[in-house]
Amino acid sequence: MAKATCSIRLAYRTLGIVEPVPESTPRMKKLYSAMLLLATVALLTMCNSTSIEDEIEYTEASIGNDKISIDPNGIESKLIDMVNDHRASVGKNTLQDSPSSYKYAEEHNDYMIAKNKLSHDNFESRAEKIAEETHATGVSENVARYYTSAEQTIEAWLDSDSHKKAMEGDYTHTTLSVQLDKEGRPYYTQIFIKVD
């Protein structure tokens, strides 16, 4: 999802609630109204009207139960270089490092590792803190897990429209944290920041 906004009308179509119930009993009308209300409430809680971008999709590789040995710092550096190389290939600027935002990527990896899941949980809070500290006008993030190399990770992100859009977006800075869980499996959080 590029912008974290939605159209109620489109959502009703998605839910199959397009037209009013024709000539129905009062009970059916109440049921229809209740379903419509529930759909609206669910939709509104899923939608966000802030101007901060939120990439909902994420990528995950399956590596089984094998213990792996990788260098997180090496992958961080290589993956940032690869993202910048890709941006240059499509005519975009090189992203500058944002050391002050690294802690947020690292904290999010800690969170995902603790929960044993990929997520963008608490993205809005993270983005607001980054925006406040860096005076950013836009923040986005990509996450992934279990990819054992920078090459695998960028390939997965390029194969995903939302991740590719974040990588190619109108940003000026980035930070990337790669951390290993107790099994030695990598988790990735890359944050993209636009500072005017």
Q: Is 159 exposed, middle or buried (0-12, 13-18, 19+ CB in 10 A)?
A: exposed
* Single pTM value for the model: 0.68
pLDDT band at 44 (very low <50, low <70, confident <90, very high): very low
Q: Tokens at residue 4, please?
A: 């974290």
Averaged confidence pLDDT in the chain: 77
Q: What is the pLDDT of residues 114-161, one digit of tens each?
A: 999 999 999 999 999 999 999 999 999 999 999 999 999 999 999 999
Predicted pLDDT of residue 25: 56
Q: Nearest CA to 143 among 106, 172, 103?
A: 106
Tell me what pLDDT residue 166 has.
96
Select 59-195's CATH number: 3.40.33.10, 3.40.50.11540, 3.40.50.2030, 3.20.20.70.
Answer: 3.40.33.10
Least confident of 44-53, 109-118, 128-137, 174-183: 44-53
d(CA 64, CA 168): 31
> Domain boundaries in the chain?
8-46, 59-195
Say if residues 193 and 136 touch (Cβ distance below 8 Å). yes
